[in-house]
Amino acid sequence: MKLDAVYGLHAVTTLLQRSPDQVVELWVMKGRQDQRMQRVLDLAAEQGLDIREADKGLMNQKADEGNHQGIIAWRKPIQNKNEKHLPDILDGISGNALILILDGITDPHNLGACLRTADAAGVQVVIAPKDKSAPLNATVAKVACGAAEAVPYIQVTNLARTMKELQERGIWIVGTAGEATHSIYQQDFTGPTALVMGAEGAGMRRLTREHCDYLVNIPMAGEVSSVNVSVATGICLFEAVRQRQLG
């Protein structure tokens, strides 16, 4: 079985806390000894995990997309839920739903950041189309810092059909668009809501836009006309959180 690498002190700590049963082995860089590292090693020892020393060159090679900070956890591949699980997830939501729909987010770093924000905001499920969307992989897991295991990420064959099914359940669909005349601060997010974020530049696809109940924008005061999609996701989700806490 091919294992995925999760690296960095924070990401590995979160993985050990949330999903220790998914970790097969821990690599620690020779000579790395400090309090932060010791806390991670103590956590791994409590779980009875195998810990192996590795040299810096080998670890640099394995962590080819970022700074490993002297530690790599080798984990079983994330088992992505498929769309047949979506009805059960929706049935299990208590209170007003808060759902995130990502339309055309292909960058794994952006997906990981969106999942991390979704987890922080209490989103119950993240939905994306199977085509032109990033899959869950080791890079997503690293950036998500444990959220990839905590928040269901479901890729669906037909996004427009799924949006219609959400609407039939009484969930309002709010899409973000720069040209919208209504701002997120004017939108009511207190009811069951699915927030749609489109790809940077292109935005939502036409069919996705047509299936939204409302279109909203994020007011921009500066000369830059847009922000990174993960930042925009955080702004919108936490406006929903703010409104719900006031309600």
Binding residues for S-adenosyl-L-methionine: 198, 218
| Residues that constitute the known binding site | 198, 218
Hey, which residues does 116 pair with through a beta bridge? none
- 56-72: string of b/e by CB count within 10 Å (b at 16+)? eeebeeebeeeebbbbb
C-alpha span between 80 and 148 (Å, rounded): 9
The greatest distance separating any two alpha carbons of the chain, rounded to the nearest whole angstrom, comes to: 58
β-strands 71-75, 23-29 pairing:
antiparallel
Hey, which residues does 73 pair with through a beta bridge? 6, 26
